[in-house]
Amino acid sequence: MQSMLDDFLKEKQTDEDNLWDCDNCNKRVQPFKFSEILSPPRHLCICLSRLEYVMTPTFHLLKKTTKVEIEPMISIGMFTYDLYFIVVHEGKN
């Protein structure tokens, strides 16, 4: 979980097929994007997206089955959170 969160919060460049229009130079650019928590909440809720949209052979949802290790504590910058509950939804497959 910690490594997934670290990866989610780090700066990444958008894909080559996801160019943006720059307001400054009016060119198509490949920008960097990142997420950060400016004001850490008292309780942090994390939802893992376990479904992925797949376009081939036809448009459908694919369930991710990668195992995720849940640590008893996670850190975001200088803030730490203790795990106090988990909800696991299980589908039919």
Q: Measured from the CB atom, is 23 or 82 closer to Zn ion?
A: 23
Instruction: Using CB under 5 A, list all residues that contact Zn ion.
Output: 22, 24-25
Q: Measured from the CB atom, is 24 or 66 closer to Zn ion?
A: 24
Q: How far is the CB of 10 from Zn ion (least distance, A)?
A: 23
Q: How far is the CB of 29 from Zn ion (least distance, A)?
A: 5
Question: How does DSSP classify residue 57?
Answer: S
Closest CA to 66 of 47, 51, 53: 51
b/e code 79-88 from CB counts within 10 Å (16+ = b)? eebeeeeeee
Q: How far is the CB of 21 from Zn ion (least distance, A)?
A: 9
Q: How far is the CB of 90 from Zn ion (least distance, A)?
A: 47
Q: Measured from the CB atom, is 19 or 70 closer to Zn ion?
A: 19
Terminal CA-CA length for the chain: 23
Q: Measured from the CB atom, is 31 or 40 closer to Zn ion?
A: 31
The secondary structure of 22-51 as a DSSP string is -TTT-SEE--EE----SS--SS-------E
